[in-house]
Structure 1
Amino acid sequence: MKRGIYTLANDVVYDQLVALLNSIEQNSGHIPVCVIAYNDDIERVAAEVAGRDNVSLLNQPELFKFWEDFSLRVWQTHPTALKQWKDAGVKTQFYRVGENHRYVSFDPAAPFDEFIYLDADTLVLQPLDFMFERLSQADVVVYDFQFKDLSHIFNVHSDKLSTVFSEERLKRDIFCSGCYASKRGLFSNAELDHVVDTLGQGNAEVLYMGAPNQSLLNYMVQINNHSVHNVALEWRPEGKATGNAVSSKHFEEKDGLVYDHGKRLSYLHYIGLSSKLFRRLCGGENIDFPYRRTFLHYRYLHGAMPVFEGVPKAYNQPPSLQKRLLKKIGLA
């Protein structure tokens, strides 16, 4: 059985991709990694992949088209999504088309029998074998605390939500689409048709437009009754679970690793931080954000780090009075 890690990237997230690949190399052994092309903007990504052992690039438009067509069918069932995105200036068929390329990991033609998908804005801090091991117990294995916040998975204002899914599954089985383990061929064509059919029968309003890929993936899993195992729920009673989101303020950084009350994180997800921050930092701007030191450790594991001048400026620092005035009169 062939196992591997997928991520999704283009040149916009190049610096984050390099850090992720270096973290996997250092902390997760010689596991194959496949980078799925987000779009055609992959010149630097392709060069980076070509220079690495055990890392490949998946850029097959014919595979992408199948999943793009499926996603378009999905969002055509929604009463307002396509119009709202178009009115908001989205130029593609639907919002974040490239994010749907990650579904290729489920395709029968995909390279890995079992896989872990990780967003590019992630660092792996120890082997993730425990997720693969639990795929013998469930169709999808996750390790996060997304179950505490349903509002970023489904439309919690929809009266229909509680009739589509049980309260138990909504509390237990929802997950962040930035890290999950699963299997090639999980969704049959009949199951994909079932997704579209049920959405077209009125279920589409339960989808959350703010994170369309995450919402749809959770819907695909639940509507087809696939099982989900959350390691956080398994380990929490034993006190073994750790957080993984950069929004947690109490983690401790040490020697390229991060700890949650003395327990080493399995991965750190820089969720909610714009890719622009990482590009600015790697361009030499002395900008600060949570767990910056750990990111820099992996980004420049094999290269020279920029020389930063002055005092780091907080990434969320309010604009200066001068900038606010210039913006007010339309000059900034």
Structure 2
Amino acid sequence: MYFLANDGFLDYATAFLNSFRRFNPDLPLCLIPFADDTGALRALQSSHGFSVLDDREVLHACDTVGAAIRGTPRGHFRKLAMWEGPFEEFAYFDSDTVVLHSADFVFDLLADYGFLTAHGNDPTTRRFVWNDSIETTGRLTEEQFGFAGATGFVASRKECLPLADVVRRLPEVRDLLPHMCPGLNDQPMLNYLMVTSGYRYASLSALADAGAEGLAVEWWGGDPVGAVEDGRVVSPDGHPPLFVHWSGTLKQAAAPLVNRALWETYRAGAAPGSPAAAGTDAVTGAAADNASPTGSGAGAVTCTFEDGTTQGWSCRVGSARVTVSDACAHSGTHSLLCSSRTEPWEGPRLALPAPPTPGAAYAFRLWARLAPGEAPADLKLTMERHHTGGTCYDTVVPDTRVAADHWTELGGTYTLTHEATRLVVYAESLHGTVPFHLDDFTMTVSGPAPASAGHTSPYGLTSETDGELIGTVLLNAAAYRDGQRDGGGGKRPLRVLEWGSGRSTLAFPQLLADAGVPCHWTSLEHHRGHLDTELPPLLAARPGVSVRYMDGEPATGHDEAAGTDGVPYTPGTDGVRIDVVCWDRGPLHPHFGVSHYADRAADLDDYVAYPMTAAGAAEAPGPYDVILINGRKRRRCLLTALRLLGERTAVLLHDAGRPYYHCALEAYPAGRFLGDALWIGGKDQDLLTDLAFSPAPTPRSCP
């Protein structure tokens, strides 16, 4: 089971959790974060027995889908993550519900249907999905647009709607936006994808109307539910409530407007008669263990797959499938099978169960075997390390030859030496896409205890370690100006070029301002949706800022002449000037699976080459002191930066651990890796070392 929430919805989520666990004490439950503020919700994990889907790659892809449909990311679209989560079959509940019935029966229905919603096939509620104009498009049959399922509850199977398929079909969805209800977020899109998927679909309400006796259904929170006894609702018509749903305008920030007494029964604490109220664990027994690895100590994990479940293993984003197989086993009768692979990196993965701490040492052991009839191939075990600056990939077990006629042990150790927010271990192949089995996986952990989650960096997607290193380079570069002066006799501003706008666009100039360093910061951004979502209030509050849109709109900023007639405007009183130049090329994720390969061909020529144009050169006469590359097309930006090198220019690349950037690094006369995910390059190795590792000047001491 999945639910979607964040701390801003804590009261509703608490009522949902208490009610769900009363009637479903053993069903595995997983939180999909609606937003990043989930610290208070996570504090309920042990008492209410749920896991958290923390896959940043998947959540970011959901945000990208939301931005493509609604213009900006919307947390509602993160429910798409359920098709990439740990459960092969599942149901999803909105968290503005109280659950009043066991949900086990849903899995019996999924034997016949690919998708189930709670409510649908109701002409009076079709307007919450489709405008009447959908009938004239010819894109959907009357049966399809008449389904109009309410997606506050969805049950499905993992193979029915992979996230890669959603991304691939976005152009179809966008074509139908004029015919979709404009006030809803994910519901119209999900309806289109469900009814055109090729899988059977139905609603609980329609099945009940068709004669499914005693079937539990959704009750709308806007209708009085009647008598409530011991936290239960008495149903007069033979169809008990699976859940009561306060959708639409029926809720306030703190409590529902209608049927408040029922909701408050569950919000106040453990419901009468619940396992928690009786002083027992909310989740007990083997059923809870079926969907997750078993532990034998702090952080230890063992997976044998003998219970017939994947025990928390899932497939990386792509078309591959991860299932339990009885075709062969290293011990017992079952193993994990990864099949239908289309890329070497597609393979089974397991999110490690506790927030990691630098210094922790992990020991892994598992057995691998290729599917029958496959020629020998090399498999490896890789650690996917998520940190506040992005994602890095570290080898745990190097390429090891595996065959189809016997089991091969893969064993290795991994010591976490850098900051990390999440660790995911996965198996992949060096080349090819052979199907393979895994079995008898064990992991043990030694070293520091797991740290608490939720820490964020003031530098946005750059880790604190790397942010501090960038700050050191900037301050030392300012000291290396040797007292150069501008035309008016003042200190010559530090010239910085940045590809990829974000929090860094404000954080680093502020660091320079605090140190008394005048600065001209030019930031280039390819995605207007990102810029307009993240930065406008912060940029507007700062003097000395201009924003120039390169798609026909006038510049904005504190000086109307800036960027329009060549007249330079005055920096802020702290000596900092920030020019943001933005194109509208949309979100691009060229390395996010096969469905994004077309992003590599996106036209970002103007964005990459802008510093070489007359307009770009006019903004920063003379060489740049520091160039920061943290956006799209980083290899091409590296090569453009190479043409901009002065004798003392430092080029900083973020996420430098990604191998596909390294061919461009080789073109530089000097360079080195440093920090969590940085590389620094330029003309002189000694200078780069001084910039990165010499003590930074103290505030107000830079010449």
Which residue identity does 1:164 align to in structure 2? Answer: R
User: 1:301-312 alignment to 2 at 5 Å?
Assistant: 301-302=269-270
Q: Count residues with an aligned counterpart.
A: 267
Instruction: Measure the CA separation in 1 of the matches of 2:208 and 2:197.
Output: 26
Instruction: Measure the CA separation in 1 of the matches of 2:232 and 2:261.
Output: 10
SS in 2 for 1:123: strand
What's 1:142 paired with?
117
What's 1:56 paired with?
51
SS in 2 for 1:178: strand
- CA 37–188 in structure 1, closer or farther in 2 if over 3 Å, else same: closer
User: 1:272-311 alignment to 2 at 5 Å?
Assistant: 272=248, 273-278=250-255, 289-302=257-270
Verify the 8 A CA contact 2:16 2:99 in the aligned structure 1.
yes
What's 2:94 paired with?
119
Offset of 1:260 from its aligned partner? 3.4
Verify the 8 A CA contact 1:12 1:275 in the aligned structure 2.
no
Verify the 8 A CA contact 1:195 1:223 in the aligned structure 2.
no
Verify the 8 A CA contact 1:67 1:104 in the aligned structure 2.
yes
Verify the 8 A CA contact 1:113 1:183 in the aligned structure 2.
yes
Verify the 8 A CA contact 1:27 1:124 in the aligned structure 2.
yes
What's 1:236 paired with?
209
Instruction: Measure the CA separation in 1 of the matches of 2:270 and 2:136.
Output: 52
- CA 260–176 in structure 1, closer or farther in 2 if over 3 Å, else same: same
What's 2:131 paired with?
155
* Residues 1:6 and 2:12 are matched in the alignment: no
CA RMSD of aligned residues (A): 2.5
What's 2:668 paired with?
none
* Residues 1:101 and 2:101 are matched in the alignment: no
Unaligned runs of 5+ in 1: 76-80, 83-92, 279-287, 304-332
Offset of 1:146 from its aligned partner? 6.1
Verify the 8 A CA contact 1:253 1:294 in the aligned structure 2.
yes
* Residues 1:25 and 2:60 are matched in the alignment: no
Instruction: Measure the CA separation in 2 of the matches of 1:204 and 1:116.
Output: 27
What's 1:68 paired with?
63
- CA 42–169 in structure 1, closer or farther in 2 if over 3 Å, else same: same
What's 2:158 paired with?
184
Unaligned runs of 5+ in 2: 272-703
- CA 160–262 in structure 1, closer or farther in 2 if over 3 Å, else same: closer
SS in 2 for 1:45: helix
What's 2:469 paired with?
none
Residue 169 of structure 1, aligned match among 144, 149, 154: 144
* Residues 1:213 and 2:186 are matched in the alignment: yes
Q: What are the Cα deviations for residues 169-193 of structure 1, in whole angstroms up to 9, with x where unaligned?
A: 222x321110110112322466335
Which residue identity does 1:295 align to in structure 2? Answer: W
Offset of 1:226 from its aligned partner? 2.8
Verify the 8 A CA contact 1:160 1:206 in the aligned structure 2.
no
Instruction: Measure the CA separation in 2 of the matches of 1:138 and 1:214.
Output: 19
Q: Which structure's CA Rg is the greater one?
A: 2
Which residue identity does 2:193 align to in structure 1? Answer: M
What's 1:267 paired with?
243
Instruction: Measure the CA separation in 1 of the matches of 2:135 and 2:121.
Output: 21
Offset of 1:232 from its aligned partner? 1.8
- CA 195–223 in structure 1, closer or farther in 2 if over 3 Å, else same: farther
Offset of 1:17 from its aligned partner? 0.9
Verify the 8 A CA contact 1:13 1:275 in the aligned structure 2.
no
Instruction: Measure the CA separation in 2 of the matches of 1:189 and 1:214.
Output: 16
Which residue identity does 1:222 align to in structure 2? Answer: V
Which residue identity does 2:253 align to in structure 1? Answer: K
Q: What are the Cα deviations for residues 222-267 of structure 1, in whole angstroms up to 9, with x where unaligned?
A: 2323321222222224364555111123533222112332543111
Instruction: Measure the CA separation in 2 of the matches of 1:56 and 1:25.
Output: 14
Bigger RCO of structures 1 and 2 (CA < 8 A, at least 6 apart)? 1
SS in 1 for 2:160: coil
What's 1:321 paired with?
none
- CA 20–53 in structure 1, closer or farther in 2 if over 3 Å, else same: closer
- CA 53–274 in structure 1, closer or farther in 2 if over 3 Å, else same: closer
What's 1:256 paired with?
231
Verify the 8 A CA contact 1:20 1:121 in the aligned structure 2.
yes
Verify the 8 A CA contact 2:93 2:153 in the aligned structure 1.
yes
SS in 2 for 1:143: strand
Verify the 8 A CA contact 2:30 2:50 in the aligned structure 1.
yes
Which residue identity does 1:69 align to in structure 2? Answer: T
Verify the 8 A CA contact 2:130 2:145 in the aligned structure 1.
no
User: 1:305-320 alignment to 2 at 5 Å?
Assistant: none
Instruction: Measure the CA separation in 1 of the matches of 2:143 and 2:242.
Output: 27
SS in 2 for 1:244: strand
Instruction: Measure the CA separation in 1 of the matches of 2:87 and 2:224.
Output: 35
Offset of 1:158 from its aligned partner? 4.4
Which residue identity does 2:130 align to in structure 1? Answer: F
Verify the 8 A CA contact 1:31 1:54 in the aligned structure 2.
no
Offset of 1:145 from its aligned partner? 4.5
Which residue identity does 1:184 align to in structure 2? Answer: K
TM-score, structure 2 as length reference? 0.36
Which residue identity does 1:36 align to in structure 2? Answer: I
Instruction: Measure the CA separation in 2 of the matches of 1:104 and 1:207.
Output: 22
- CA 262–224 in structure 1, closer or farther in 2 if over 3 Å, else same: closer
Fraction of identical pairs, as percent: 21
Q: What are the Cα deviations for residues 111-160 of structure 1, in whole angstroms up to 9, with x where unaligned?
A: 11111100001111110122111111010122225633110012224454
